[in-house]
Structure 1
Amino acid sequence: MASSRILVGVFGAPHGVRGELRLKAYTADPLAVKAYSPLESEDGKRRFTLTSARLQGDMVVARVDGIADRDAAAALTNLKLYVPRERLPQAADEDEFYQADLIGLRVENASGEELGTITAVHDFGAGDVLEIKLPASGTAYLPFTKAIVPTVEVSAGRVIADPPADWLDEGTPEDADAP
């Protein structure tokens, strides 16, 4: 199920006039993104070697080989950066996962009944949430917590979930007014 490439960052706006760029790193240590250089574009056709990286606030400011001015840096704004999966370390413990490893896994309950398939992992600010494509139609969201998703078996291609009883209840606007 694991993807052959992992998203590790995205170029932001230029920083200054000498070709430096802001870089939003998705690595645990933001400066570690430089160690994975060269980074690849989403289509895999372009490679970018980071020649320097420093932390400024929560953003990495990077210099890219061959990018010497603000206009060249601006042309890279919002470009997603990937690394081949084999160049990344294995997860440090059994409760760590690359998001790409979760995409495509079956979601089952404890009885083995299929609840859906993970299509995305989001963080809307309150922790990770799994986007689940339901077997019949539509999607639903499930908090990615140990209490709700106690078992992740990447090699078996599944997660076992214990969703709340009202997980798929949509309710109606009138329900909000009920005492």
Structure 2
Amino acid sequence: MDNIRYASSIRAELRASHAGETGAVWIYRGILLVNRIKRDSDIDTFAQHHLATEKDHLVQFENLIHRFRGSALLVIWIFAGFMMGALSMMLGKNWVYYTIYQVESFVDVHYRQQINTLSKLEFLDKTDIIKMMEACNADEQAHRDEALKEMKNEPHFMMRIWGKLVATGSHYAVVLAKLL
């Protein structure tokens, strides 16, 4: 019975990470689409660099997808990521950096929780998967720190509300991706 439960929980964790990396790719695509109009070279460099990293993370999870089914809600994570990126870029550079800071702060905690949970289980390629997650998390922490460094102004009231929405939405996205 424990093997079935563990197998299910491992698949749920991988599905949530795959969904999250998919959403992350689309956040940067949303930013870059709106930036075609705004033409901010700093944002372009920032988003292109982070997009490349997120695509690499996504490929790593897609190489494992034979062990789990992807989220049935993947199209929603794509749409939500794209809209989050596009909307933050429409609102301005500081909103982009704050959004990335909020997302990556959530992702850091989530990856650490996943690594802790998976470390307690026995499964095929456990060491390789945990090392992959640790490397992805290190990248996400660097993205978080870079976004914070790039913020020119303290987040005002509306940005803080946005940040809470981003964090809460990220939390519920993980819950749903694990299930569906």
The TM-score range, normalised by the shorter chain, is: under 0.3
Question: Which is richer in strand?
Answer: 1
Greater share of helix residues, 1 or 2? 2
Return the index of the structure with the highest Cα Rg: 1
Q: Which has the higher contact order (CA 8 A, sep 6+)?
A: 2
